[in-house]
Each structure stands twice: as structure tokens, then as C-alpha cells.
Homo-oligomer: A and B are copies of this chain.
Amino acid sequence: MSERQNVLIIGGGIIGHSISYYLNKSGVSAMVIDKQESGRKATRAAAGMLGVHSENAQANVFYKFCERSRELYQSLSQELFRLTSINIGLSRTGMIEVALCEEEKNKLRDKKAFFPELEWLEGEKLSEKIPSLNGSGAVGLHMEKDGHVEPTHVCEAFKRAALHFGGKLIEDHSVWGIEKNEQGYSIQLGNETLLVDRVVVAAGAESGPWFEATGLVDPMVPTKGEYISIKPKKNIWDETLFFRDFYIVPKPDGRCVIGATTKPYDRGHFPTAGGLSELLNHVFSVFPTLQSEPLQDCGAGIRPGTKDGFPIIGEHPTMAGLYFATGHYRNGVLLAPATGELMKDLILDKKVDSSITGLLSPNRLVRKGEHSYEHSN
């Protein structure tokens, strides 16, 4: 791709701005368009866990993609601060996945077998780490390299760093249609038309229609998640805790974010009374002492889930120059750096790891019976 080419990225969440950052830094002129304000949807509702191990049961291809992304945060933290004075809140205080019943314990033992470097915690060792835990017999797996970031800070920092490298941003504008022509794509924006070489759809839970409109199967499963946060009067533990029914992320301002419900195909923008009550009942069964702590806030976000559980990252099977980078479900914050880097490499025709691009390619969304792509899955 020549330098005069340019890329339009549809969607100003953490994924879109990460792609814009990597592209503009590499000399490709990229512009992000968002229908409202950047970083206000799933990005804002995310707790920011970098849960490489909580999100993976085995050290497979996808695990390595997650791990790569977590490692990228290490250098990004400094570089983004240097470029933008924004502190992304990277914290590597570790995570502990806790199992309470036999079934969960068996799963955790399997995970320990796959990741022998993780530390097994039980008995006193566990209760020393999490003194207030109400569950004799609980066991835990300590993932000391995992941690969390502040999603809205990361998104704002990517956005500003991209602008620093010459990127562009249009907020408060919807894309009303895209059309392929000889040179690239023509984009209809209210009463203007933009001509660009390439388009990346990074529209999170609202990406579905772009698949339909370009002849693919819509893989999206918009999935509402609700969270609450409390602000304990004193520090209780340092690590992010991960249970089957909820997680707790201690944030750098003293809040603990507790998430999250899972409501497939629910696009509602609001947290429900029942969802929050369900979360609280789960939490109190394990941490009864949290009942006396102040509730701080609550919210909801729509995660961009997919039918097969994997993101869609790559070029459209038949429309050259149209890319997808969506479907990150609850791993959008974790995977933003690796997704941005990968998209930049794909657009610049750099050599990429074919095992991960194969796994995530939109080729798996070609409609059955449309023979030419049938065996490309």
C-alpha cells in the first residue's frame, strides 16, 4: 500500500482508535468515524481486565494472541504517556481465579496442568491473599502477570496519539452507506461523500449489518453486560478476583468494579434492577462483609459477541480493501493493541502469523451453498 492511500475506520471504540494509532504511526493516513462520542459504548463499560489466563483454558493460538497483546501494553503505557500525557492506568497486580465447587475445581486443575507456571493457592495460602473470602475449601490459581488498565484512558490515549501522527477523527456522524468503486470505497456521511482506499469496520456490537450488507453471514451476538462498583472503606486485596459468576477488579482510585451479567441479544443501554441484584447476591454469598460497603455506580455495555466465540479480524473474502476488526466479546480491551498491530500489518502487506489470521478471518462467514468459499472455512 502506497503512502498516499488512506483508510477509514468505522467505529471509535478502543479497537478503532488502536488501529488508527498503529496505522498513522506507520505512515498510513487513517481516519476514525464515530456516530457519537468516541469511547462511550462497550469501551466505557469495560472493567479493563487483562485476563490472558482467565479467558483461556489452554496455551493455544488464541492464548498467544492475548499474551502478545498484554505484553504490548507494557511499552504502550510509556509511549502513550510520552505522546499524550495520559496515564493508561496499567496495573500488573495479578489475578486469582477462584473455584468454589468440585466442578470448578476440576476445571482449574486442568488449567493448572496447561499452565504449570501459575501458582496454586489453597488453605492458608489462599486465605492470606483473600482474607475476607467466605468459602472453606476454595482453591485458587494465581496469574501474577495479568492485571488491568483504564479502558477510557487507553482509548483516549490511542485517539490522541493517532492525531499526533496525523490521524483524523470525525465524531457525531453516522455512515449511511459504503460503495465499492474502482479506486476504493465511497462513503456516504450525511450530506458529504468521502473517497478512501480501504475501510475497516470496527463497530463493535453494531457491526452486524456490515456483514449482511456485504454478503456474509452476520456472526454477531450483541450481549449485554451489567456491572456495579463499590468503594470499600479499606483495602481488602490487591489482585483481580475471578469467580464463575462474577469478577472483582480493584481500580486505582479505590473502587472495586464487580461484573458482569451476560444477556445475549439484549441491546438495552441500561442496567436492570434484576441484573444488579443478581450480581450482588452472587458477591455477598462469597464476600458477606461487602454488604456494608458503599455502592458507587453501575452501568451496562453491549459486548460484541460472536457465534463461534472468536473475533473477526481480516479482509473480506471477496471485497478487497474492506476489513473487519470486531467481535472481541469481553476481550476488546485486552486485545486492542494486538488487533491494531495485526490490522496495520495486514494493510501494509507485512508477513503475519497465519495461524492467528486463519483462526480469525472473515472467510468463515461465507454463506453455505455459495460454493466458491465453502471449503475456505
Partner of A280, one of B208, B212, B277, B293: B277
Cβ A254 vs Cβ B293 within 8 A: no
Cβ B152 vs Cβ A235 within 8 A: no
A132 to chain B, nearest CB (A): 14
A86 within 8 A of B: yes
Cβ B36 vs Cβ A269 within 8 A: yes
Cβ A190 vs Cβ B176 within 8 A: no
**B-chain residues with CB within 8 Å of residue A274 when the two chains form the complex:** 280, 284, 290-293
Which one of A42-50, A95-103, A165-173, A345-353 is at the B interface? A165-173
Cβ B298 vs Cβ A272 within 8 A: no
A215 within 8 A of B: no
Which residue, A150, A171, A234, has most C-beta atoms of chain B within 10 A?
A234
**B-chain residues with CB within 8 Å of residue A208 when the two chains form the complex:** 190-191
Question: With A169-B233, A190-B209 in contact, do A273 and B253 touch (Cβ < 8 Å)?
Answer: no
A49 to chain B, nearest CB (A): 14
Cβ A277 vs Cβ B284 within 8 A: yes
Nearest chain B residue, comparing its CB with the CB of A275: B291
A104 within 8 A of B: no
**B-chain residues with CB within 8 Å of residue A283 when the two chains form the complex:** 273
Cβ A253 vs Cβ B86 within 8 A: yes
Interface hits, A146-198 → B, CB 8 Å:
150, 152-153, 156-157, 160, 163-164, 169, 171-174, 176, 188, 190-191
Cβ A235 vs Cβ B277 within 8 A: no
Partner of A252, one of B86, B172, B188, B209: B86
Complex Cα gap A67–B336 (Å): 40
25 A-B residue pairs with Cβ-Cβ distance under 8 Å, sorted by A, are A37-B269, A85-B235, A85-B238, A85-B252, A86-B235, A86-B254, A87-B89, A87-B91, A87-B253, A163-B233, A163-B234, A172-B267, A174-B206, A191-B212, A268-B294, A270-B294, A271-B294, A272-B291, A272-B293, A272-B295, A273-B290, A273-B293, A274-B292, A276-B280, A295-B298
